[in-house]
Chains A and B, each alone.
Chain A
Amino acid sequence: MIKKIHLEPPLKRNELEALTIGDNVLISGVIYTARDTAHRRMIELLDKGEPLPFDISGQIIYYVGPTPSRPGRSSGSAGPTTSYRMDAYAPRLIEVGLRGMIGKGPRSSEVIEAMKKWGCVYFGATGGAGALLSLAIKKAEIIAFEDLGPEAVRRLEVKDFPVIVINDVRGNDLYKDNVEKYKRK
């Protein structure tokens, strides 16, 4: 039986340091969604010295743009989008307090450096498993940039949302290590 670690944001320094690549984590509580254009707008807010749509310290951003919810359902399909598109913006958000990101696919060296410097973890959720993952979302509400439609920032209440640690605060990389293991030379 694989050991599961339970986490609830805001994430504390000791909780982040205890995580290692490959750890299975179940996240409960509140997380926030943001993808391409929402990131651009958040950086614009920081540039103008204005507050972000939510208090980012210790929080987790999930890179997702869900499908519309059917009546009576808490969420539509909600799997991760590819993370590298947020690489240009992530270091700045980490600097102001972001402590976790959920997405899929490798991050740039700049993002990994920022994660090491400030103590932030990158989690992977299974790409293309949007129906399965949506079952862990208990409530979703738009809190900013409603005009962006699927790209609006949402506040999600999740229960045991399943992720795996891809990059820990020490700069280790699960993708690199695991692919190396199965590569035929």
Chain B
Amino acid sequence: MRSIPFATIKEKVKEVCIETNYILGEDVIKSLQRALDQEESPLGREILNQLIENARIAREEKIPLCQDTGLAVVFVERGEEVFIDGGSLVDAINQGVRMGYEEGYLRKSVCHPFTRKNTGDNTPAIIHYDLVAGDRLKINFCAKGGGSENMSRATMLKPSDGLVGVEDFVVKRVWEAQANPCPPIIVGVGIGGTMERAAFLAKKSLLRKVGEESNDCGLAEMEKRLLKKINELGIGPAGLGGRSTALAVHVLMEPCHIASLPVAVNINCHSSRHGEILL
């Protein structure tokens, strides 16, 4: 067994909450720059320039990129030989989130579904666990905004709907979302598994760096085709018309039941905030 101190995990989670909310990833900035180079709409170009400027201001003046500093969504890959010394992993993550959102002047956006009473510390985090071989602990963090999450959907298609049915569902979802999820968006697509697995895959696909394609050639082709179709919709930056509706489409796929064709679309706004911790 390899021992990792509880306090180290807590501290790293705190840091990643703060850093991702202030510093937009190079991959996202580059993709915004590429969108700017290709954008035909003058208003669309103005919006893209504002977003690039926003990232500079956030970094230099220490103001969060977006007021919606998100729900803390965490993907854990825990090696089977890892022992957490001094407490549980779930507590380390939640305490890290609590400290990060407090010390980083981040917004607490978690509340009771009906009373709408705020939990006050942005916990509980949404944590997905994966047990893997080895003695490492990998934690992927995303600050996931509510506006783009609200525009996400899952459905159970019929096997006969096939590839065409899946692509139609994805494109229709983006069309219906219009300006709401803060375009240019990143479209995460999960295909297969079960209802909840498809949604999980859709969200997990968003962890990939923007601009990197799937390592499955068939899925990489599908991503390109979907991106082209989505960027023909005309929604554009901020939904004010233009070519750049999506910066990327990411697809993850797994086998499913002989009766089913589950598909989920998880939309991320342009402020795609992700960070990785490897211990």
Where the two chains meet, the residues of A that have a C-beta atom closer than 8 Å to any C-beta of B are 22, 36-37, 64-70, 73, 76-79, 81-82, 84, 104-106, 124, 126-132, 134-135, 148-151, 164, 174-175, 177-184
> Is there contact, CB below 8 Å, between B238 and A184?
no
Contact A67 B69 (CB under 8 A): yes
Which single member of B61, B150, B178, B235 contacts A131 (CB below 8 Å)? B61
The reply to whether the CB of B62 lies closer than 8 angstroms to some CB of chain A is yes
Q: Which residue from B54, B66, B107, B234 sits with its C-beta under 8 Å from A180?
A: B234
Residues of chain A with a CB closer than 8 A to B53's CB: 132
* A129 & B240 in contact (Cβ 8 Å cutoff): no
The verdict on B65 contacting chain A, using a C-beta distance below 8 Å, is yes
Q: Say whether B51 contacts A128, CB under 8 Å.
A: yes
Counting contact residues on chain B (CB < 8 A from A), the size range is: 35 or more
Q: A82-B150, A104-B238, A105-B180 are in contact. Are A130 and B63 (CB under 8 A)?
A: yes
Which of A84, A135, A180, A182 meets B180, CB within 8 Å?
A84
Write out the residue numbers on chain B whose beta carbons fall within 8 Å of the beta carbon of A106.
Answer: 178-180, 239
A178 touches B107 (CB 8 A): no
Query: Which secondary structure characterizes the binding site on chain B?
Result: loop
Instruction: List the one stretch of B1-9, B40-48, B250-258 in contact with chain A.
Output: B40-48
B95 adjacent to chain A (CB < 8 Å): no
Bound-state Cα–Cα, A81 to B147, Å: 7
CB pair B234 A129 closer than 8 Å: no
Q: Is B58 an interface residue (CB 8 A)?
A: yes
Cα of A73 to Cα of B61 in the assembled complex, Å: 10
Q: Compute how far the CA of A174 lies from the CA of B44 in the bound complex, rounded to whole angstroms.
A: 13
Q: Which of A129, A148, A175 counts the most chain B CB atoms within 10 A?
A: A129
A163 to chain B minimum Cβ distance, whole angstroms, is 12
Is B97 in the interface zone, CB < 8 Å from A?
Answer: no
Contact partner of A104 among B40, B55, B61, B179, CB < 8 A? B179
Confirm or deny: B191 has a beta carbon within 8 angstroms of a beta carbon on chain A: no
Task: Return A91 CB to nearest CB of chain B, in Å.
Answer: 20
Q: How far is the CB of A108 from chain B (nearest CB, A)?
A: 13
Choose from B147, B181, B239 the contact partner of A175 (Cβ within 8 Å). B239
Contact of B238 among A126, A130, A134 (CB under 8 A): A126
CB distance from B220 to the nearest CB of A (A): 23
Say whether A130 contacts B241, CB under 8 Å: no
Q: How far is the CA of A45 from the CA of B57 in the complex (A)?
A: 39
Cα distance, A176 to B268, chains bound together (Å): 22
Inter-chain CA distance A107–B43, complex, in Å, is 20
Q: Is the CB of B232 within 8 A of A128?
A: no
Which of A64, A77, A104, A178 gathers the greatest number of chain B CB atoms within 10 Å?
Answer: A77
What separation, in Å, do the CA atoms of A82 and B274 have in the docked complex?
Answer: 22
User: A107 CB to closest chain B CB, in angstroms?
Assistant: 11
The closest CB in chain A to the CB of B41 belongs to A182
A34 to chain B, nearest CB (A): 14
Given B54, B146, B239, which contacts A129 in the complex, CB threshold below 8 Å? B54
Q: Does B64 contact A (CB under 8 A)?
A: yes
Q: Which B19-63 residues sit within 8 Å CB-CB of chain A?
A: 40-41, 43, 47, 50-51, 53-55, 57-58, 61-63
Q: How far is the CA of A106 from the CA of B107 in the complex (A)?
A: 25
Is A70's CB under 8 angstroms from B105's CB? yes
Task: Chain B residues near A177: list those with CB within 8 A.
Answer: 241
Q: How far is the CA of A79 from the CA of B67 in the complex (A)?
A: 6
Given A104-B147, A131-B57, A182-B40, 10 further pairs, Cβ under 8 A: A79-B66, A79-B68, A104-B239, A124-B240, A129-B51, A131-B61, A131-B63, A132-B54, A148-B116, A181-B41
